[in-house]
């Protein structure tokens, strides 16, 4: 039996679909805050063994005698603009510690979601060398909570038989309709083009970087879940550790916007606006995953190009408001 947390969310709901497609149907216990009804379409019609609210899951997990073969922990508070440090500490740090401790005590393999936001402004580079973890300086409470858990994990003597923390870079794709401001730039680009015929991108406030030339490592969600599934299937031959999960290729927001216009069959019309003050100081101008560590594991990583990913996302999902 597999436990999957965060199933109402963007990546978690896609992960459930992928598990269903690979034969995991009535043997998946899914966890989330199911009072948030606006997320229901993310998991509607998918096969699960049991839905369990996150408020009762930990007690069940610590006491159940049922055989659990694997835990995929993707649940988290992910709002990078929020300053509510207590909520991040409760949901992203302490909740994750309790899951870790049960997995370590009972010998259950564990995958959990970290974040590329832990790299802060990138001054220390984007290498997943764990000896350099203490040098990272995340820029917002969300990133701090993810970084604190990574640091705590590395201090533990009692560990699951296999564990992997994946630092997700800029993930985009279906099932992010509920995310509002936190949805991918591709999602916002599509909606702005559909509603106004043009797209607004953030102006650069950093010397030497042109407007629209801020760069990110954009990775399609279907590639993310494929890697997580591979890690679950072949964990016995994979070293435990913290791994980057991006494409290893940084692309500009201008590239992204232009391809979205093309996928809609429209001419490019872009306007640059000031980056909002509440995120300007914590805004990352460049991210790119160093993927060498994950490559050495031998996992299959046939990453989708930005052009192909946007084309698939726009043409097969966004236009029809379809879910994966």
The pLDDT, as a whole number, for residue 204 is 93
Encode the chain in three state secondary structure. CEEEECCCCHHHHHHHHHHHHCCCCCCEEEEECCCCHHHHHHCCCCCCCEEEEHHHHHHHHHHCCCCCCEEEECCCCCCCCCCCHHHHHHHHHHHHHHHHHHHHHHCCCEEEEEEHHHHCCCCCCCCCCHHHHHHCCCCCHHHHHHHHHHHHHHCCCCCCCCEEEEEECEEECCCCHHHHHHCCHHHHHHHHHHHHCCEEEECCCCCCCCCCCCEECEEEHHHHHHHHHHHHHCHHHCCCEEEEECCCCCEEHHHHHHHHHHHCCCCCCEEEECCCHHHHCCCCCECCCCCHHHHCCCCCCCCCCHHHHHHHHHHHHHCCCCCC
pLDDT digits (tens, 9 = 90+) for 165-182: 999 999 999 999 999 988
The pLDDT, as a whole number, for residue 199 is 94
- Residues marked active site are found at 142, 179
pLDDT digits (tens, 9 = 90+) for 173-213: 999 999 998 899 999 999 999 999 999 999 999 899 999 99
Predicted confidence band of residue 245 (pLDDT cuts 50, 70, 90):
very high
What structural domains and CATH numbers belong to the chain?
2-171+218-248+288-303 (3.40.50.720), 179-215+250-286+312-318 (3.90.25.10)
The pLDDT, as a whole number, for residue 258 is 96
pLDDT digits (tens, 9 = 90+) for 117-132: 999 989 899 999 999 9
The pLDDT, as a whole number, for residue 69 is 97
pLDDT digits (tens, 9 = 90+) for 280-316: 887 888 999 999 999 999 998 889 999 999 999 999 9
pTM for this predicted structure? 0.95
266 pLDDT exceeds 90? yes
How many C-beta atoms surround the C-beta of residue 258 within 10 A? Answer: 18
The pLDDT, as a whole number, for residue 82 is 87
């Amino acid at each position: 039996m597999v436990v999957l947390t965060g199933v109402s969310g963007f990546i978690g709901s896609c992960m459930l679909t992928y598990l269903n497609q690979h034969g995991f149907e009535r043997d998946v216990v899914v966890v989330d805050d199911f009072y948030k009804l606006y997320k229901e379409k993310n998991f509607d019609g998918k096969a699960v063994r049991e839905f369990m609210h996150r408020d009762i899951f930990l007690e069940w997990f610590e006491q159940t005698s049922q055989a659990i073969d694997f835990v995929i922990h993707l649940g988290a508070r992910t709002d990078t603009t929020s300053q509510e440090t207590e909520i991040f500490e409760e949901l992203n740090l302490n909740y994750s510690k309790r899951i870790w401790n049960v997995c370590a005590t009972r010998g259950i393999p564990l995958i959990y979601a970290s974040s590329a936001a832990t790299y802060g402004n990138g001054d220390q580079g984007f290498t997943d060398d764990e000896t350099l973890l203490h040098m990272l300086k995340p820029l917002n409470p969300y990133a701090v909570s993810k970084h604190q858990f990574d640091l705590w994990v590395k201090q533990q003597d009692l560990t699951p038989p296999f564990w992997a923390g994946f630092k997700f870079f800029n993930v985009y794709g279906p099932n992010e309709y509920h995310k509002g401001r936190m949805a991918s730039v591709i999602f916002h680009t599509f909606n702005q083009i559909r509603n106004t015929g043009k797209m607004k991108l953030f102006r650069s406030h950093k010397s030497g970087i042109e407007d629209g030339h801020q760069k990110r490592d954009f990775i399609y969600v279907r590639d993310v879940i494929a890697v997580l599934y591979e890690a679950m299937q072949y964990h016995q031959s994979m070293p435990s550790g913290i791994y980057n999960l991006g494409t290893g290729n940084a692309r500009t927001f201008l590239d992204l916007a232009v391809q979205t216009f093309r996928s809609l069959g429209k001419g490019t019309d872009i306007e640059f606006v000031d980056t909002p003050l509440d995120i300007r100081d914590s805004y990352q101008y460049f991210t790119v995953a160093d993927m060498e560590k994950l490559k050495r594991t031998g996992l299959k990583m046939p990453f989708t190009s930005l052009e192909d990913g946007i084309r698939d996302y726009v043409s097969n999902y966004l236009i029809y408001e379809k879910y994966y």
